[in-house]
Amino acid sequence: MRKPLIAGNWKMHFTVPEGLEYALQLRRDLEPYSAVVDAVILPPAVMLWEIANALRGCAIEVGAQNAGWEDQGPFTGEISPKMLAGWCHYLLIGHSERRQLFNETDEELNRKLHAGLRHRLKVILAVGETLEEYEAGRTAEVITRQLNAAVYGVELRQATELSVAYEPVWAIGTGKAATPQYANETMGLIRRLLESPFGALASEIRILYGGSVTPANARSLMEQPEIDGGLVGGASLKAADFTGSSRRRLRCCSRRECERTRAGTRSRDHRRLGLPSGAGGQRDRRCQETELGRALGAMAAHHPGRGRRARRSTGGSAGELRGWPPQYRRRADRLPGPDPDQPRDSRRKLQAEPGFAAGHD
């Protein structure tokens, strides 16, 4: 079963201090659900490093909203996947705002996709049709062109790091959203298109919905079998809305699992008593509570000393980062600070050396 993914795209919002404070709040709110839902935030590039350090050791991952396709060079204002590799987890490319406002082409996105995968970033590729294309009935044509051009030349072993986000442009920022049935049908088309280059692996690629996801419509969307999560825009800027979308995805997954369990292995008591298949609301709730309990138990087992503040672990070698920012890292090769009188003494010795005055006239 594909693990759900909820990605929050902050776009061009928040200052660095505001973004850092908000990220710490999301860490407290979303960490209990990390065992059943992958949570990713996509801050502006200027605060990526600070937020990545604040969330180090946490299940919430960070990603960049965009990157170039070259490793380095005379590209003023760009960041490269090579700069993100090793500490940044995800990379979003092909967002409709990048396609429309910055005229990004399918060929450029193909090069960005290859660059991101080459540096082992998990790439979220966004595709979607405009209002004019939607009204003209060209949705399938547009999606096919964008997807085939973007994944051209991608190797099978790299496809495991790929996710696709379907974002109908006519629904972004307008308050309108595609109906759950329409979104599910279109995302089923995307999965069928992925089968051509990737075969059976297409069934493991996560497909997200990204058109005005809010807590009000998240549940109806996430209940659809082809929707594996959401690319959340405006709603990700409010902790209650973003956390609510993640919780609704968790409930949908728990309910699906309960339904499969009831349909496949009904208890002997139910079969003997002939209870209807719809009876079992209490069981649904128990299953949800069990999933949440497992998530909390797994997190506690993996991070036994975690409390409200990050603590330095008693295990590990000196200098190992256990949830602390790098500037607080303890290093074995770091010398103790100088004595308060040391700079003044050093200066007197330096002035006493022959040739000092001659060289500083």
Q: Which residue has the higher pLDDT, 321 or 212?
A: 212
Considering the domain boundaries, does residue 331 fall inside one?
Answer: no
CATH number of the domain enclosing 98: 3.20.20.70
Contact 37, 250 (CB under 8 A): yes
Q: What is the pLDDT of residues 122-148, one digit of tens each?
A: 999 999 999 999 999 999 999 999 999
Considering the domain boundaries, does residue 236 fall inside one?
Answer: yes
Considering the domain boundaries, does residue 348 fall inside one?
Answer: no
Mean pLDDT computed over 180-198: 96
Mean pLDDT, the chain, whole residue set: 78
Q: What is the pLDDT of residue 175?
A: 66
Mean pLDDT computed over 194-204: 96
Mean pLDDT computed over 183-191: 96
Considering the domain boundaries, does residue 330 fall inside one?
Answer: no
Going by C-alpha positions, the residue among 322, 334, 253, 326 that lies closest to residue 290 is: 253
CA distance linking residue 231 with residue 171, whole number of Å: 13
DSSP string, 185-249: HHHHHHHHHHHHHHGGGGGGSEEEE-SS--HHHHHHHHTSTT--EEEESGGGGSHHHHHHHHHHH
Q: Establish whether 360 is a catalytic residue.
A: no
CA distance linking residue 311 with residue 316, whole number of Å: 13
Q: Establish whether 223 is a catalytic residue.
A: no
Q: What is the pLDDT of residues 326-351, one digit of tens each?
A: 444 444 444 454 444 555 544 445 44
User: Which amino acid type is present at position 336?
Assistant: P
Considering the domain boundaries, does residue 226 fall inside one?
Answer: yes
Domain holding 127, by residue range, is: 5-253
Mean pLDDT computed over 198-214: 92
Q: What is the pLDDT of residue 236?
A: 87
- Residue 317 pLDDT greater than 80, yes or no: no
Considering the domain boundaries, does residue 28 fall inside one?
Answer: yes
With a CB cutoff of 8 Å and minimum separation 6, the contacts of 191 are 202, 203, 205, 207, 226
- Residue 224 pLDDT greater than 60, yes or no: yes
Q: Give the count of domains, the chain.
A: 1
Q: What is the pLDDT of residue 17?
A: 96
Considering the domain boundaries, does residue 272 fall inside one?
Answer: no
Considering the domain boundaries, does residue 243 fall inside one?
Answer: yes
Q: Which residue has the higher pLDDT, 177 or 94?
A: 94
User: Which amino acid type is present at position 254?
Assistant: S
Among 89, 167, 291, 303, the active-site one is: 167
Mean pLDDT computed over 206-217: 87
Tokens of 228: 């594996």
Q: Which residue has the higher pLDDT, 175 or 12?
A: 12
Q: What is the pLDDT of residue 168?
A: 93
Q: Which of 36-40, 66-70, 303-307 has the weakest average pLDDT? A: 303-307
Q: What is the pLDDT of residue 172?
A: 79
pTM: 0.70
Burial 83-109 (b: 16+ CB within 10 A, else e): bbeeebbbbbbbbbbbbeeeebebebb
Q: Phi/psi at 93 (nearest 5 deg)?
A: -135, 155
Q: Phi/psi at 104 (nearest 5 deg)?
A: -70, 135
Q: What is the pLDDT of residue 289?
A: 42
Give me the residue label for tokens 């998990």: 122
The count of other CB atoms within 10 Å of the CB of residue 288 is 17
Among 31, 61, 89, 95, the active-site one is: 95
Q: What is the pLDDT of residues 118-128, one digit of tens each?
A: 999 999 999 99
